[in-house]
Every structure is written in structure tokens, then in C-alpha cells.
Amino acid sequence: MTPAPPDPVRDPVPASRALFDRALAVTPGGVNSPVRAFAAVGGTPRFIRSARGAWLTDVDGNDYVDLVCSWGPMLLGHAHPEVQAAVQAAVARGTSYGTPTEPEVELAEEIVARTPVEKVRLVSSGTEATMSAIRLARGFTGRDVVVKFAGCYHGHVDALLAAGGSGLLTFAVPGTPGVPASSTALTLVLPYNDRSAVEGAFAEHGDRIACLITEAAPGNMGVVPPEPGFNEFLAATCARHGALFVSDEVMTGFRASAQGQWGLDGALEGWAPDLMTFGKVMGGGFPAAAFGGRADVMSQLAPEGPVYQAGTLSGNPVATTAGLTTLRLATDEVYAHITTAGDTIKAATTEALTVAGVPHLISAAGTMFSVFFSDPSAGPVRDFASATRTDVTAYAVFFNTMLAAGVYLPPSAYEAWFLSSAHDERALQAVLDALPQAARAAATAIDNAEREK
Ligand SMILES: Cc1ncc(COP(=O)(O)O)c(C=O)c1O
């Protein structure tokens, strides 16, 4: 296929466009993970050639302040010199042995030291972590039913790609073609932050529920924090019914705070999940993830116990070295910096949108936050239904105006904005400078949509 010649007016990034055309010919949608395709915001996905600190550089030579940070992992910014040096040294020793290694022990020890989990199994992706945690919960309890919340994403695990059934307490239907109805027939999908729905589900199905899995603070419908005491309530409800409480901290772990979302609630309230899942930050930009929890539950895993789970590249020495080095460098100062930088961005975004007259809400969990283009008078965002009130058209215009000004926001309205310890004055100022025009563009989009009604 001969790609169309570049048209700089229609397409300001001809090199990205040319690569996207080639990618479309050989890869479904031209990308290896759907949201990268810019389908929700329009335009040409930027093909990134390199990244350093808070900045991305695309194949056309444009620089962007990165507010995605690889969807969370790059807590220290890109190409951190100490992480790079550790990775280079690890590569020089060989890249995979298929044997136990020292860095995986050290990474497991680091995770155990920072979280309430007693034992950890390393895997290669967040999807693998949640899939394995659910298998373990089912194996441990001898029960089959899994409870999840609408709007929480736990990776592309069949049983969790589920949409709510016809009623609250009916079992789910597949959320995508390719998932057999039998895979979601044992999944209950409930509205988030809704205690009575949880009580109803456990009252009706309690003795069949193996586990309840929740994002510790949902970040995949935009950031929707748990209401005060909600996670504690979930832990207590599970315990009362002999089910396991699985807290998915793939996104929030070592990111929302040094101890993840658990550091913001469980550590203060004195409870712990039975199982937790981790990914993103703990891989330092490499494919590494983990699940862990109570020693008596984890000991049911092969080879100690009967529940089978394995992985050729699990605990890979390069990935674990990157993750370990990242976690060791993730000091209190790092989280304090990211908190302050986030406060600066949140305040400036609110100011720009308010001046432009764009209704909006900022919702946060620790250092993670997102901006909803929805009317604050309708109340806070507390579940999937209220999250989807956001004006995705206004966000798309806002996104593209920010992108043209050199700020790379998540290419979807339903994602968290991520910062790093490398977001310095210069990077923050570039975001602040871009905001007013993007806010005005969003306001115009909203006005135009009103007129067309
Ligand atoms: C909360 C949560 N769980 C699980 C996953 C799946 O992780 P992965 O994409 O590494 O499979 C994600 C990915 O974004 C996530 O945010």
C-alpha cells in the first residue's frame, strides 16, 4: 500500500502519519493497545522516538510534556540515569535465564516491605496478575463467583471483561465479542461506591462468592476515589462471608502514594486486603507485575500448593532490576514533588476552565487525578454512571489543542493524568502556558454543540 503524500495542513506530523499508515497495514488499528490509536480524540497518534525526564520527542522532532508517563509506570520520568545504568548492567549479565535470580527476591522483599502483603508472585503484566489472583481466590475458597464494579478495569481477563446483566444481582454478560457467556456467567457487576448493592450481592450469593475485586481507587473511568471507609467496608463484608478481598493496585500501587491507595486508607484504618495486584511503577517501564497477599492464601500456589500458575519470563532479571531500582529511588521526596506538581496543574486547569466558562470537576486519589468535563452541580463523580456524564467532545478539542501546544495528555477522557519527579518548573510552565487556549477551544466546542441542538 502506498501511503498518501504528507499534507502539512491536514496533518502536522507527516512522519508519524507515514508510520501509522505502515502500522495500519500490518497491525490491527495500527497499535498494540487500543487507546494509543487516538480513536477517542481524533488525529494522528504520535509515534515517539525517544523520551527523557518529563518530555517525549516524536518522529517528526516535536517535543511534548508527557502527562501520561506510559500510563503510570514512569514515576521518576523517562530515561532516569540510575535506572538506565542498572538496566544496562543487568543486560550485560544476560537477559533471561529461566532460573531464580537475586533481583526478583529483592523486588519481592521491597514490595513486602511497602505493602501489607506477606508473599508475592511476580508475573509480566497487570492482566496476568489479576487473572492469577482470581484463580487463586477460587482455588483457596473452593467457590466460583467473582464480584467486580462497573467502570473498574482489571486488564483483559475474560471473566472481568463483563458488563452488568439485566438487573443488579443478575450475572454479567460479555463486554466484548470473543468472551464466551460462560466466562462471565460467574461474574457479578455492581455500581461503584454503592454499599447497598454490595450488601445485596453478598446477601443473595455470599456462600458462592470467591472474591470481590476492585481497583483500590478506580483510575480507568477517570479517577473516582473510594468514598471514605468504602474499601474497609468491602474488606469487612468479604471477611464476614468467607470471600477474599482482592485490591487491584496495578495503577495506584507505588503511585497514588508510596504505599499506593492502601497507604491512604488501609494503613490508616488498620485493615489489609487478602490479595493485592501490582504492575506499572514496580516494573520501572518494563513488563513486570505481581500479585501477593496473605501467606496462607499465597501458599496454595504451585509449587507450594495445588493452584497452578507459571510464566517463562516471570521475574525477568532486567525487568525486576528496573522495578527494584525505581522503587528504591521512589522516596518520600519523590511523592512530595509529584503531589506539589499535581496541585499546580490542577489549580491551573481549574482556573483556565473556569475563566473560559467550561463546567468541570477534578477528581483525585493521592497523586493521581483526572479532569471531568461535566457539570459540578450534578454532584461528584462517584461511579461509572456519573463518570460517563463527561463531555467527550469537549475533551477531544481540549486534548488536541494541548497537543498542538506541546502537551501530551491521555488520548481519552476517561484516564488519569500522571506526573513524575522529573516534571520540573520548565515542564509545568509549558503546561500552564498551553491551558488557557485549550480551555477556550473547549468552551467554543461546547457552545457550537449547544447551537446545533
Ligand atoms: C487497575 C488495573 N488493573 C490491571 C491492568 C492491566 O494491566 P496490564 O495492562 O499490564 O495488563 C490495568 C492496566 O491499565 C489497570 O489499570
Query: How confident is the model over 275-302, as a mean pLDDT?
Result: 98
In eight-state DSSP terms, residue 307 is: B
pLDDT tens per residue, range 255-269:
999 999 999 999 999
Mutate to test the pocket of ligand 1, among 33, 69, 153 (most ligand atoms within 8 A of CB): 153
Give the pLDDT confidence of 221-243 residue by residue, as tens digits. Answer: 999 999 999 999 999 999 999 99
Annotated active-site residue 296? The verdict is no
Whether residue 334 contacts residue 84, with contact meaning beta carbons closer than 8 Å, is answered with no
Asked if residue 191 lies in contact with residue 149, where contact means CB atoms within 8 angstroms, the answer is: yes
- Asked whether 283 lines ligand 1 (CB < 6 A), one says no
Catalytic pick among 194, 248, 274, 391: 248
pLDDT in tens, 384-434: 999 999 999 999 999 999 999 999 999 999 999 999 999 999 999 999 999
Amino acid 59: pLDDT = 98
Cα(88)–Cα(98) distance, integer angstroms: 19
| Distance (Å) from CA 282 to ligand 1 centroid | 12
Counting residues of the chain whose pLDDT is more than 90, the rounded percentage is: 93
Annotated catalytic, 248? Answer: yes
Phi, psi of 148 (to 5 degrees): -135, 175
For residue 2, the model assigns a pLDDT of 47
How many CA atoms are closer than 13 Å to the CA of 304, on its beta-carbon side?
12
For residue 289, the ligand 1 atom closest to its alpha carbon is: 10
Q: What is the pLDDT of residues 108-133, one digit of tens each?
A: 999 999 999 999 999 999 999 999 99
If you measure from the C-alpha of residue 220 to the centroid of ligand 1, how many angstroms do you get, rounded to a whole number? Answer: 9
Residue 165 — very low, low, confident or very high, per pLDDT cuts 50/70/90? confident
Q: Take atom 3 of ligand 1 and give the residue whose Cα is closest.
A: 154
CA of 179 to the centre of ligand 1 (A): 18
- Could you confirm whether 153 is annotated as catalytic? yes
Q: Greatest CA span in the chain, whole angstroms?
A: 65
Determine whether the shortest distance from the Cβ of 220 to ligand 1 is under 6 A. yes
Contacts of 106 (CB under 8 A, 6+ apart): 320, 324
User: Is residue 445 a contact partner of residue 392, using CB atoms and an 8 Å limit?
Assistant: no
Task: Indicate the angle between helix axes 195-205 and 230-240, nearest 10 degrees.
Answer: 10
- Say what the pLDDT of residue 453 is: 81
Could you tell me which residues are beta bridge partners of residue 163? 173
Residue 172: what pLDDT? Answer: 87
Cβ 261 under 6 angstroms from ligand 1: no
Q: 142: exposed, middle or buried (C-beta count within 10 Å: 0-12, 13-18, 19+)? A: exposed
Q: Is 155 in the pocket of ligand 1 (CB under 6 A)?
A: yes
Q: From the candidates 64, 153, 335, 414, which is the catalytic residue?
A: 153
Terminal Cα distance for the chain, rounded: 41
